């Protein structure tokens, strides 16, 4: 990746831009338009999105949307073609923040605040109730919770009685989340607990080398579950998980090579596409953004990290399985270049169309080798800026 602080031949940004010099240099180095950010910061209010929990019936979701609209003084509309997603647009003219966390629906766990582009990345996995899914960069856990929720049966109404132990209505699928940051993983664990996902285990580990096999949950093994106090030859303990419900703490020793049905690599990136996030630095101070994201040494390592995460995700995927690679960066270096590198290295991998994005009409990528990958431009789509690609492993 180019050094964002290096001098560039690209003309200086418009004098009206008051973005900090280091960010402007980053944009120039990656050929990203400055006015996208200037517009977004000055006049543009991105929509907020939320997703309803799987257990809600269609009628309950509709009445929740009415309640959210009134609590937030906003228009709430179902997103066409993206099941379970709703868009929230404030009615007032002021730059009011949409605080989904203040709604009653959020507090009782009936809705999750998550951008629709992240939802599209998760839906691209086409998760089945009995899939074992690996999320290699899972924290703080928006996508992981959606994955776990998608394994629950849909529209069975609100039933808060099954808050402990395995929900027998689940299809036996599991989600394994991995993140290198324990602090962020702690947030993820709080979300998992809040939404009572009992089919999720979390590991504080490096996703570039993580290789724990997919679990065989206790409720799926033949015979009655044994007392874990004694020696049980059919089980061996996991490398210590950061969080795991009792039934996912052990694996069947014969499953040591079990790969995952689906893998998501929502890679660490510069977050430059997330306009909502970028706007916050006006308040937090841009020096924080510079140290967190624009450090030249970090930027140079990022491309290698993204490639290595993708490659390891691919290793953990079953033949015939689907892997989704996504970032909230708009740079070529973190998206197209990573994919082209990967496709050259794994020629059997096929890029497939990303479903559920027709309503946003994203522009197709000009490089025909990547025509199925999708870029969400925040101004054109009124979403967060995002990149998603779906890859299939040959059988």
Nearer to ligand SAM, 235 or 307 (CB): 307
- Catalytic hit among 40, 188, 328, 357: 328
- The closest alpha carbon to 52, from 142, 113, 7, 93, belongs to 113
Q: How far is the CB of 50 from ligand SAM (least distance, A)?
A: 14
Give contact residues for ligand SAM (rule: CB under 6 A).
118, 136-143, 178-181, 184, 206-208, 266, 268, 305
Q: How far is the CB of 353 from ligand SAM (least distance, A)?
A: 22
Q: Quick one: tokens of 133?
A: 């899914």
Q: Judge whether 97 is annotated as a binding position.
A: no
Q: Judge whether 149 is annotated as a binding position.
A: no
Nearer to ligand SAM, 74 or 244 (CB): 244
Q: How far is the CB of 304 from ligand SAM (least distance, A)?
A: 10
Question: Are 3 and 297 contacting, i.e. CB atoms less than 8 angstroms apart?
Answer: no
What CA–CA distance (Å, rounded) separates 188 from 177?
A: 9
Nearer to ligand SAM, 68 or 138 (CB): 138
Q: Judge whether 266 is annotated as a binding position.
A: yes
Q: How far is the CB of 324 from ligand SAM (least distance, A)?
A: 11
- The closest alpha carbon to 390, from 322, 333, 310, belongs to 322
Question: For residue 274, what are the contacts with CB-CB under 8 A and spacing of at least 6?
Answer: 328, 384, 385
Backbone dihedral angles phi then psi of residue 239, each to the nearest 5 degrees: -60, 140
Nearer to ligand SAM, 36 or 138 (CB): 138
328 is catalytic: yes
Number of residues written out for the chain: 395
Q: How far is the CB of 209 from ligand SAM (least distance, A)?
A: 8
Q: Is the peptide bond before 238 cis (omega within 30 degrees of 0)?
A: no
Nearer to ligand SAM, 118 or 170 (CB): 118
Instruction: Return the sign of the alpha-carbon dihedral for residues 380, 382, 385, 390.
Output: negative
What CA–CA distance (Å, rounded) separates 381 from 314?
A: 30
Question: For residue 77, what are the contacts with CB-CB under 8 A and spacing of at least 6?
Answer: 65, 86, 87, 89
Query: Which residues are part of a known binding site for S-adenosyl-L-methionine?
Result: 179, 206, 266
Which residues are part of the catalytic machinery? 328
Query: Which residues are part of a known binding site?
Result: 179, 206, 266
């Amino acid at each position: 990746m180019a050094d964002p602080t290096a001098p560039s031949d690209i003309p200086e940004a418009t004098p009206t831009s008051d973005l900090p010099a280091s960010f402007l240099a980053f944009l120039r180095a990656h050929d990203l338009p400055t006015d996208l950010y200037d517009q977004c910061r000055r006049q543009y209010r991105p929509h907020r999105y939320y997703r309803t929990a799987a257990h809600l019936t269609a009628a309950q979701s509709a009445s929740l949307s009415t309640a959210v609209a009134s609590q937030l003084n906003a228009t709430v509309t179902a997103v066409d073609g993206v099941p379970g997603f709703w868009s929230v647009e404030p009615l007032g003219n002021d730059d009011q923040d949409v605080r989904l966390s203040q709604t009653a629906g959020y507090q009782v766990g009936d809705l999750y605040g998550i951008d629709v582009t992240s939802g599209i990345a998760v839906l691209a996995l086409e998760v089945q109730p009995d899939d074992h899914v690996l999320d290699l960069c899972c924290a703080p856990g928006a996508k992981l919770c959606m994955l776990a929720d998608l394994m629950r049966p849909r529209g069975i109404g609100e039933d808060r009685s099954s808050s402990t132990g395995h929900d027998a209505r689940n299809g036996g699928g599991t989600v394994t989340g991995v993140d290198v940051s324990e602090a962020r993983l702690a947030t993820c664990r709080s979300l998992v607990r809040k939404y009572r996902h009992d089919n999720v285990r979390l590991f504080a580990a490096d996703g570039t080398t993580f290789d724990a096999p997919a679990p065989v949950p206790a409720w799926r093994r033949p015979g009655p579950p044994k007392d874990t106090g004694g020696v049980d030859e059919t089980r061996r303990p996991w490398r210590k998980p950061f969080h795991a419900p009792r039934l996912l703490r052990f694996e069947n020793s014969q499953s040591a090579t079990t790969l995952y049905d689906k893998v998501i690599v929502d890679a660490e990136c510069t977050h430059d596409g997330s306009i909502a996030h970028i706007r916050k630095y006006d308040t937090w101070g841009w020096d924080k953004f510079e140290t967190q994201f624009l450090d030249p040494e970090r930027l140079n390592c990022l491309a290698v990290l993204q490639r290595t995460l993708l490659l390891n995700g691919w290793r953990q995927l079953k033949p015939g399985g689907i892997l989704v690679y996504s970032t909230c960066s708009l740079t070529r270096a973190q998206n197209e270049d990573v994919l082209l590198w990967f496709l050259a290295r794994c020629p059997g991998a096929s890029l497939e169309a990303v479903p559920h994005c027709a309503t946003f009409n994203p522009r197709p990528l000009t490089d025909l080798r990547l025509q199925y990958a999708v870029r969400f431009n925040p101004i054109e789509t009124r979403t967060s800026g995002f990149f998603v690609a779906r890859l299939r492993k040959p059988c």
